[in-house]
Structures are given as structure tokens and as C-alpha cells.
Amino acid sequence: MTRVTPVSTPHANQQPLPPLGSVQRTATAVDELAETYFQRCMDLDPSTATFNGIPGHESEYPDFGPAGREARAELARTTLAQLDRAEPEDDVDRVTLHALRNELELQMDRHRANLDVSEVNNIESPVQSIRQILDAMPRETEQDWRHLAARMANIPAALDQYREGLREAVSLDRRPAAPQIVEAAQQAEQYASKDGSFAALAADPAAPGSVREDLRRSADAARAAYREIAESLRGEFSEGARESSASGPEDYALHLASFLGARLDPREVYDWGVQQLLALDAEQRDLAEQIRPGASIQEAMAALNEDPARQLHSPEELREWMQGLSDAALDALAGSHFEITEQMRTLECCIAPTHDGIIYYTPPSGDFSRPGRMWWSVPEGVTQHNTWEETTTVYHEGVPGHHLQCATALANAGELNAWRRMGIWVSGHGEGWALYAERLMAELGFLDDPGDRMGMLDSQRLRTVRVIFDVGFHCGFEIPEALGEMLGGARAGQTWTPEDGWKFLRHNVAMAESTLRFEWLRYMGWPGQAPSYKVGQQMWLDAREQAMAREGESFDLERFHSRALRLGSVGLDTLTYALAL
């Protein structure tokens, strides 16, 4: 895959890294610029401030309307102008400037193309994020509960701004797509139901008696507002909605670049994805033979599903198993393969209060007072989980995946400014690392069990299949004949449709149908994000290969990982640039 890569003069730097957290670097003018930008971002996005543990915004929401969109664009414009006058004092500054320029230029490209308007999808739109921030808020003191009640009380205003943002999107001919409207409206109604998360929060027995009436009133207001937004989606915004979610190739290239922090040719990514799937299929066939001689991949997976030792039968069983596996990984990897400080060792595994089918991670607060958490949103009707499928997911979300990645940057407070630690998240870097971490656990011997290894390969296959469908669907590419029976009934030589994508996914992905349906809708409604996992993983592998070539026999894998993760979640072009300094 061809990409625009910055030119630098590489040299091997084999000085031992100081212990994580021990560096106390004097802040520079570049740090001050980045800190000012970060603080302004937190003012504009109070929800992210809460995720980062920054006080002062506990009851607020971002402005989801046109004024909020323009305020974010103006901040990007003014900060870019300041970057032109900034002079770096060291390599840390050079990376900060490179990363910040890359991010802001992509933001402005999206703004000029009207790709930053309010949107509707089933995973990453205000319908979900307005509710989801409540999960990350502390619930230890009476004041904590008052903050929860106050933020819930502000949900009607936040949804009103969102409605105005959607009207702006319509006026700019960036109408939401009908399939995403249907799904988001259903989610909104579920949140508003009598057994939804707002009602559960109002009835939480842990809430102090002095706050319960405020919680009840706020929850009732939030439920009513979510019912209203569901009605608006089904009514006002369904009229004239786009029938297809496909973005088109020009918009897609920019979506993909934004998720990667690197500009790639979607056609090259598509063709690469096809070759990756062919290779993975061969690897899984060989492993299926080990699991049950003569079995196909599907037959081997069926045998794993039938193994009682690999089954979990309730959300609580799932949570306890997640926690045990996560704790064991932390114990095994700390000090032997990765830097894991004491403050990084707490990772809580939780069942989410929703049923969306999402598995996600929320990082610690900046001071680690709130721990990192792995969340599993179990779809309604799903009563069994198979550990062979999910072992690799725990490594992806926890250690050495997202938790190690996010906590390492947070722990590097003496070297990095707040923006580098908390204010930047590039999906290709973050999700690419987490997928790379899954394969790495196999390299380190943690997935020697054939079932667990099949689960890892199935995870890799899922991420590869969606490269093909996501890029192909949004760019209007032809369905590749080279995949043969792996197409599962998708029509070779024809342009991708949602129905072709569904057949392709069902044939290639071992997943409960309700969860797979959620994934299928996600790819169509969030262009460019799904491929960032597999493409990002490849770019991490490329970075490792480049480091090995530069350093020769002195290459050390643990040192490579530590140096790379200490950078924070920079764009992938910036990662390449930084590792070559």
C-alpha cells in the first residue's frame, strides 16, 4: 500500500530507556501550545473531559449543533496558524508538532467537505455518546451522584442541539442514511424504556437518599428526550433520507485518512485486503485439521462451541472469566515483556448497562483515580459465550491491548504534554495496536491452545473481511472473483450491496447473528473506521520491521514496544516519523 510518509534521517538510538514515569522534562513553548489547544478542546467537549478525569465540566455536554461545529473548526484554524510560528526544542516537540499538524489538517479537510456535521449511526453518534458518558462517571460520593443527576438533566438540551445539527446536515446535503436512522431510533427507544439504563440508574440502591428524587426527575427527563429524538429520527429525518449508506470514493478516502492519520489509496487497501483473507483462510484450514482431523474451519469451530469447558452461560460468568483472564495476563506480562507500573495494574471488567453488542474499553482518568475498564454490552437473547472466541478479545481490550497502550501514555506524564497523553486518539494507531497485540500474544506463547488460537485467527479474519466490505461498499468496487467460495453467495464481479455484504460476513465470521447484524450496520454507517484495525496492525508490523532493519542484532522487542507506546496515540505517519528520529 502506497502512503505519504514524511522523510527523516534515521539512526539507531540504543541508549537504555529510563523507567516509565521517571522522566521530568521541562515544558517548552510547543508544550504550552499543545496544552492550550487541549484545554480548549476539553472546554468544547465536556464529555471527553470527564473521560480524562478533568474536573469542572461534570454536568455539561458538547454543543452538538452548528455553533459547536464551527467553534471546533475555528479552534483548528487558529491552532494551525500558531503551528507555523512554533520552533521545536527537542524530538518530543518535533513529534508533537508533526502529530498536531497532521490531526488539524485532516480536521480542516473534513470540515471543508462537510464531513464533520452531525451524523446518525449505530455506534458512534450522539445517540450513543450522550448516554454512554454516564457509565464513566464516578459514583462514590453524594457529590458524584449529584453530578450524574445534573448531567442527565442536561440530556434534553443536548439532544435538542443534536437535532439542530442534523438539520444543518440536511441543509448541506449530508443527510443521514435510512438504515442507520432505523437502528439509532430503536436504540434511543431502548435507552428510554422502563427497563433501560436511565431507569436503572434512577433506581440504583447505591444512590444516597438525598439525591434519589433528583435522579428520578433527571432520568424521567432523559427518557422523554430520548423518546422524542426517536420520533424525530423516524419522522422528520426519515423524509428524504439517503437509501444507501455508501459514502462514495472521494469522501471515503478522507474518512480513511482521518482514522489512520495516514493517506492511503483505497483501491490498494482493497486489493491488499483480498490477499490477506486468502492467506488467513489457509492458516485457519491448517489449524482446523489440528482441532479435528478432516474438519473444515466451520466444523472445527462447531466442535469448539460444543465443548462444555469453553462455555459461559450468564453475564456474571462472562464478567468473572474476563476479570480472571485479564488479571492473569497482567501478572504474566508485567516486568517480563512490557513496562507495567503499579498504577497501571488495575483493570476492571464490567458488563455494560446496555444491550448494543459493543465491546469497548474506557481508559483511566489522567491521574489513575478512575481505573481502566473493559465493557461488554451483551445483546438481548445472547445467553452463551464461548471462551475460545473471546480470549483474544480480552487481550485486545486489556493487556497488552488498549489498557497497556492508553495507560503507558498516561504514565509518561513527565515527558508528554496533556494533549499527547489524553487529547489524541487515532483509530489506526489504537485499534491497529490492539489487533497487533492479539497476534503478539500468539508469538509470546499465550495462545498455544488450538481453540484460543482459532479464536485469534477468527478475530483477524473478521478485521480482514471488513476491510474488503467496508472499502468495497463505500467506494463502489466490484466484488472480487479471487475469493471464490469465501464470498458466501456475494455476487462476484458485481458492485457491493448491503445484501452482498451480509452474505459475505455470515460466511466468514463466527458470531451470534444479532452481534453480526450490529457489526454489518456499523461498517455501513461509520466509513473508514473498521479497516483501521487491520491496516493499522499492518503499519505497526511495518514499523517493527523498519526498526529491526535499522538496529540489526541490537534490536530489542520490549524496548521497541516501550518507545512506541510512550509516544501516545499519534497518527500512523507520525509514528513512522517518530520512531526514525
In SS3 terms, 278-338 reads as: HHHHHHHHHHHHHHCCCCCHHHHHHHHHCCHHHEECCHHHHHHHHHHHHHHHHHHHECCCE
**Buried (b) or exposed (e) across 539-563, using 16+ Cβ within 10 A?**
bbebbbeebeeebeeeeeeebbbbe
- The answer to whether 104 and 18 have CB atoms below 8 angstroms apart is no
Percent helix, strand and coil across the chain, each rounded to 5? 60, 5, 35
Predicted local distance difference test score (pLDDT) of residue 380: 80
The span from the CA of 416 to the CA of 206, in Å, is 38
Predicted local distance difference test score (pLDDT) of residue 1: 58
Q: All 3 cell numbers of residue 446?
A: 499465550
DSSP of 132-182, one letter per residue? HGGGGS--SSHHHHHHHHHHHHTHHHHHHHHHHHHHHHHHTT-PPBHHHHH
The span from the CA of 361 to the CA of 540, in Å, is 20
Predicted local distance difference test score (pLDDT) of residue 147: 97
Output DSSP code: residue 361.
E
Predicted local distance difference test score (pLDDT) of residue 134: 95
The span from the CA of 433 to the CA of 402, in Å, is 8
3-state secondary structure of 401: coil
How many Cβ atoms sit within 10 Å of the Cβ of residue 357? 24
- The answer to whether 326 and 346 have CB atoms below 8 angstroms apart is no
Q: All 3 cell numbers of residue 166?
A: 442534523
DSSP of 370-392, one letter per residue? SPEEEEE-PPTT---EEHHHHHH
Residue 147: which of 156, 157, 138, 160 has the closest Cα? Answer: 138
Going by DSSP bridges, is the β-strand pair 372-376/385-386 parallel, antiparallel, or unpaired? unpaired
> Is the C-alpha dihedral spanning 277, 280, 284, 285 positive or negative?
positive
Residue 404: which of 456, 463, 332 has the closest Cα? Answer: 332
Residue 392: which of 326, 345, 476, 481 has the closest Cα? Answer: 326
Number of residues that make up the chain: 581
Predicted local distance difference test score (pLDDT) of residue 336: 84
- The answer to whether 82 and 31 have CB atoms below 8 angstroms apart is no
Which class for 91: exposed (0-12), middle (13-18), buried (19 or more C-beta within 10 A)? Answer: exposed
The span from the CA of 44 to the CA of 65, in Å, is 12
Instruction: State the Cα angle at 463 between 457 and 465, rounded to 5°.
Output: 95
Predicted local distance difference test score (pLDDT) of residue 7: 35
Q: All 3 cell numbers of residue 198?
A: 436511565
Going by DSSP bridges, is the β-strand pair 311-312/385-386 parallel, antiparallel, or unpaired? antiparallel
Predicted local distance difference test score (pLDDT) of residue 512: 81
Angle of the 387-397 helix axis to the 427-443 helix axis, nearest 10: 130
pLDDT in tens, the chain (581 residues): 544 333 333 344 567 889 999 999 999 999 999 999 999 999 999 999 998 889 999 999 999 999 999 999 999 999 999 999 999 999 999 999 999 999 999 999 999 999 999 999 999 999 999 999 999 899 999 999 999 999 999 999 999 999 999 999 999 999 999 999 999 999 999 999 999 999 999 999 999 999 999 999 999 999 999 999 999 999 999 998 999 899 999 999 999 999 999 999 999 999 999 999 999 999 999 999 999 999 999 999 999 999 999 999 999 999 999 999 999 999 999 988 999 999 999 999 999 988 877 788 999 988 999 999 999 988 888 888 999 999 999 999 999 999 999 999 999 999 999 999 999 999 999 999 999 999 999 999 999 999 999 999 999 999 999 999 999 999 999 999 999 999 999 999 999 999 999 999 999 998 888 889 999 999 999 999 999 999 999 999 999 999 999 999 999 999 999 999 999 999 999 999 999 99
**Buried (b) or exposed (e) across 463-485, using 16+ Cβ within 10 A?**
bbbbbbbbbbbbbebebbeebee
Q: Which amino acid is at 449?
A: D
Q: Within a 13 Å sphere around the CA of 158, how many CA atoms are in the beta-carbon half?
A: 26
3-state secondary structure of 18: coil
533, containing H or E segment: helix 531-551
Predicted local distance difference test score (pLDDT) of residue 113: 97
The span from the CA of 130 to the CA of 138, in Å, is 16
What predicted TM-score, i.e. pTM, was given to this entire model? 0.91
Q: Write out pLDDT tens, residues 429-460.
A: 999 999 999 999 999 999 999 999 999 999 99
Predicted local distance difference test score (pLDDT) of residue 14: 64
Residue 532: which of 245, 305, 266 has the closest Cα? Answer: 266
The span from the CA of 44 to the CA of 27, in Å, is 24
Predicted local distance difference test score (pLDDT) of residue 3: 43
